[in-house]
Structure 1
């Protein structure tokens, strides 16, 4: 593709020059070119204008300020006359054959040039699209690889979070087991303390009951039948009084 562009560029083809500019800009934009040591040269897309098919327009413009409009043509005629008169340029039968060949070639180029140009342009466009497709496929593949790598990195980070969560869950389980053991120890200690309290309460109740029974028995034993009879009469009297 590059050789075709160069050959067509030498022929002054506009589409080929545009192709070369696009290739040059693509290489520069991709970062594969050292623009510091080898700066990019901007080439004109359109070829420089010419007159008579071979003489640059700028030559004629240089004559205008000195000789006017007819100066370039007079200079060409004078130089041609000088070359012919001194036989530096010999006019023989080959000269006229060359003129005929030039006319025939010009006619062929004018008649078949646009079709050949369209065919070559189509081939160059197809080659360019194929190269762009290869480049785009590689870009898509690398982008997919980057996405997969980012996903893998995200998965690795998620595994770290999962491991941290598992460690936290284990810590919570240890904390729950510790608190359960504290609760069990508290229950067992409370049971023993309640047992000691109940034992002391039972002992106190037994002592009180024994003391009450001992006092009642002593009182009963100290009361005589006469005192009991008098107390009973006194109670009956009180009841009558109350009635």
Structure 2
């Protein structure tokens, strides 16, 4: 049975961070990546597909977001469900996420893992294509630390950091080659990435699909705590 933590009580500064992580990152530690129009923010398309809006966006914020995304183009919102104004966007698709926070002192360094960088991107993209852990693009690796495990030169597992809201870091792209599953590689990678976050004083969190029972069971078995129920909403600008 899953454990649920409520870190977003009134007055808790984590609320805006954990329920609106893309916007918190793009107006904070990831401001260098932000494409901006008014209060709307987005990552460059070769970095990530995510759009950030204030917690309670105004009509002007939505109009600015539509200009930023561009007519006919899509972007993703990651946050609890939000009504989409039909004046500026149409709903493309939507799916559920579960958000987890790492338990205290969970990190563990792993000397077999290697730091991945731009030269590793072709192998990272190939692994993502096999495993579908979520959006990963040609410059996603620039968002934070990505670690991988190679066997006989082949990248067989990886995990890394995506959103960096203040005081927090999101684990992302956790994936293992199908031929190498069942060896605990994902756990090793998660703990190693969390170790880096802990060294900086950041709280690690992550998301998984609401129907991905295998991943949900894994994170619960590791002591991760459910913090929010989220949505990924893909919208197309009119």
Q: TM-score, normalised by structure 1?
A: 0.16
**Larger relative helix fraction:** 1
TM-score after normalising by structure 2: 0.17
The structure richer in strand per residue is 2
**Larger Rg computed on CA atoms:** 1
